[in-house]
């Protein structure tokens, strides 16, 4: 697809304006996106993974639409929580962060997330952070106080415009009293003075480390310029993190930081956000030991990215069953297509209609949940054709099936699924169910061989009895020209 100048049909909900807007990139054909990445003091949990998967699909869809996308997702490797965790494990904060950066990379790769174009670490970008703090000091938008540096909220009129909060109410909420070091209770730290035993960097106003918000302002602008197109993160980051980023960047450059602000809803557990502080987290790596990565992606994408999504084991199981149905269908389609001797060139019917429905959903603020309905419709259609004996109009059916099969690929590319061969995926799932149910594989295979012999000898009664015996074990058979395939029913 040619790179579009702008896509009036592609609408994105902008937290800043509270409206869906046409995506109109600042540079034609190019989208620059910054997403706040993980704080690497522990393993990522499914809540984090939901947010990163949502943006993964945004990037995939924009690329599918023909945009050149520059995707930056940072790694926060200086933070109070990292220092606390390092103290608890008697480790250097830098080494603890290294460990969790590596774990994060492994986990999100296993989930099939695309690598960002840049994954900057705070500790590698100190010069830019220092320069931004200096610029704010020079502009009178920040002040040093006992080695700390604070942003002066009163010096910048647009504060809290992203969260649409009232500054006076916020101030009253803070008790309205400035601390000893702060001039205003709303002022926030750009720099924190060095404390014994904590990592610190030299700075003209005194050794210390950056506050949280300044890093994203500095790294986003370093790698994407200012303004850039889309800034994203979870809902919890709107205030204060993103409002503070806007304040810092706009006060220093007198230009907007980002045009569109996108925020994902929470992954919840029984009405509470999944978060480390609540102690109700499921680690991504633990989930991936139980459920297939593509099934997990289907689960994450089963609710619009801005809506909450409720976690349950049952929902994961359900997603994996759906994926099994998809892969089984693909296997059957591929078997059927392989039977054809002549490849028909003619196109019949309304080719591409499922994909167009999917694009309409994705164009509407990346509604992958609705887009999955088109995916299901496509598979229902393929199953209808598979179940119809191809005798009356053999070539016509085969040709249509080939067209439908070709529509599957873009769905897979955008949603990050169907990256395995059906045979391999189904075998993997079967092996896991065999293990989980404690089944005896050798015995199953012996019974199947015995049934094949009975069929060959035309002993149908014996063959049926063997099929029933296998069914009692939870084993289902499927006979095709290629032989007999078997699977384990996923039931307790
Ligand atoms: P953190 O490592 O806590 O800074 O979080 C990394 C990203 O995950 C941020 O964009 C958060 O907003 C997001 N996040 C954290 N918890 C959840 C959750 N339960 N559901 C969805 N996103 C979350
Ligand atoms: Zn950030």
Q: Which atom of ligand 1 is nearest to the CA of 234?
A: 12
How confident is residue 280, by pLDDT bands cut at 50, 70 and 90? confident
Residue 447 tokens read as 């019974």
Measured CA to CA in angstroms, residue 116 lies from 69, 230, 294, 392, 458 at distances of: 10, 14, 19, 51, 59
Nearest CA to ligand 1 atom 11: 234
| pLDDT-wise least confident of 307-316, 369-378, 381-390 | 381-390
Pick the closest to residue 68 from 25, 109, 8, 132 (CA basis): 25
Contact 450, 396 (CB under 8 A): no
CB-defined site of ligand 1, < 6 Å? 36, 38-39, 47-48, 50-51, 233-234, 236-237, 264, 266-267, 273-275
- Point out the ligand nearest to the CA of residue 236: 1
Q: Which atom of ligand 1 is nearest to the CA of 50?
A: 21
| Extended beta strands in 228-266, E state | 228-234, 258-264
Q: Which atom of ligand 1 is nearest to the CA of 309?
A: 20
Residue 1: pLDDT above 70?
no
Architecture of domain 7-143+153-161+213-289: 3-Layer(aba) Sandwich (3.40)
pTM of the model: 0.94
- Point out the ligand nearest to the CA of residue 309: 1
Query: What residue spans define the domains of the chain?
Result: 7-143+153-161+213-289, 321-415, 422-488
pLDDT, residue 393, reads: 52
pLDDT, residue 347, reads: 44
The C-alpha atoms of residue 31 and residue 365 are separated, in whole angstroms, by 15
Percentage of the chain beyond pLDDT 70 is 93
Residues 6 or more apart whose CB falls under 8 angstroms from that of 363 comprise 7, 9, 10, 11
Residue 275: pLDDT above 90?
no
Measured CA to CA in angstroms, residue 165 lies from 57, 68, 169, 239 at distances of: 30, 35, 8, 9
| pLDDT-wise least confident of 119-123, 176-180, 203-207 | 176-180
Nearest CA to ligand 1 atom 14: 48
**What would the mean pLDDT of 275-282 be, rounded to a whole number?**
85
Q: Which atom of ligand 1 is nearest to the CA of 35?
A: 10
What residues sit around ligand 2, an ion, with C-beta below 5 angstroms?
A: 36, 216
CA of 295 to the centre of ligand 2 (A): 28
Pick the closest to residue 36 from 109, 142, 122 (CA basis): 122
How confident is residue 401, by pLDDT bands cut at 50, 70 and 90? confident
Measured CA to CA in angstroms, residue 206 lies from 35, 194, 217, 248, 382 at distances of: 30, 8, 21, 20, 67
Residue 402: pLDDT above 90?
no
What digits encode the pLDDT tens for the residues 285-336?
A: 999 999 999 999 999 999 999 999 999 999 999 999 999 999 999 999 998 8
CATH topology for 321-415 is 1.20.120
Nearest CA to ligand 1 atom 18: 47
Residue 176: pLDDT above 70?
no
pLDDT, residue 177, reads: 63
Residue 462 tokens read as 């014996």
């Amino acid at each position: 697809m040619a790179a579009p100048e702008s896509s009036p049909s592609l609408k994105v909900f902008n937290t800043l304006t509270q409206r869906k807007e046409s995506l109109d990139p600042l540079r034609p054909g190019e989208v620059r996106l910054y997403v706040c990445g993980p704080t690497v003091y522990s393993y990522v949990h499914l809540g984090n993974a939901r947010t990163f998967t949502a943006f993964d699909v945004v990037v995939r869809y924009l690329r599918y639409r023909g945009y050149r996308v520059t995707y930056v997702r940072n790694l926060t490797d200086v933070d109070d929580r990292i220092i606390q965790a390092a103290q608890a494990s008697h480790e250097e904060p830098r080494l603890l962060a290294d460990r969790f950066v590596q774990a994060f990379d492994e986990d999100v790769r296993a989930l099939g997330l695309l690598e960002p174009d840049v994954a900057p670490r705070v500790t590698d970008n100190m010069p830019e952070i220092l320069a931004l703090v200096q610029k704010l000091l020079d502009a009178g938008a920040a002040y040093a106080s006992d080695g700390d540096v604070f942003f002066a909220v009163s010096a910048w009129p647009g504060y809290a415009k992203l969260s649409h909060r009232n500054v006076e109410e916020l101030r009253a909420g803070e008790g309205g009293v400035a601390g000893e070091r702060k001039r205003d209770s709303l002022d926030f730290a750009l720099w924190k003075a060095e404390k014994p035993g904590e990592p610190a960097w030299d700075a003209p106003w005194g050794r210390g480390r950056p506050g949280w918000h300044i890093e994203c302002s500095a790294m986003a602008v370093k790698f994407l310029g200012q303004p850039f197109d889309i800034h994203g993160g979870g809902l919890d980051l709107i205030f204060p993190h993103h409002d503070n980023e806007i304040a810092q960047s706009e006060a220093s450059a007198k230009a907007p930081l980002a045009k569109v602000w996108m925020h994902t809803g929470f992954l919840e557990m029984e009405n509470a956000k999944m978060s480390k502080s609540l102690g109700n987290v499921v680690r991504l790596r633990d989930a991936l030991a139980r459920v297939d990565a593509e099934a997990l992606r289907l689960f994450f994408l089963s609710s619009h990215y801005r809506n909450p999504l409720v976690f349950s084991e049952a929902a994961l199981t359900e997603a994996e069953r759906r994926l099994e149905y998809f892969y089984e269908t693909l296997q059957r389609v591929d078997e059927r297509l392989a039977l054809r001797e002549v490849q028909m060139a003619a196109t019949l019917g309304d080719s591409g209609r499922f994909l167009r429905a999917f694009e309409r959903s994705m164009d509407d603020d990346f509604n992958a949940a609705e887009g999955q309905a088109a995916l299901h419709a496509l598979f229902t259609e393929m199953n209808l054709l598979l179940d119809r004996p191809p005798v009356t109009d053999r070539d016509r059916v085969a040709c249509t099936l080939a067209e439908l099969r070709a529509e599957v690929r873009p769905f897979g590319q955008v949603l990050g699924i169907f990256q395995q061969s059906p045979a391999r995926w189904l075998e993997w799932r079967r092996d896991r169910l065999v293990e989980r149910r404690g089944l005896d594989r050798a015995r199953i295979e012996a019974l199947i061989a015995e049934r094949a012999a009975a069929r060959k000898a035309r002993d149908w009664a014996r063959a049926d009895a063997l099929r029933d015996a296998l069914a009692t074990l939870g084993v289902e058979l499927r006979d095709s020209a290629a032989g007999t395939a078997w699977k384990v029913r996923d039931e307790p």
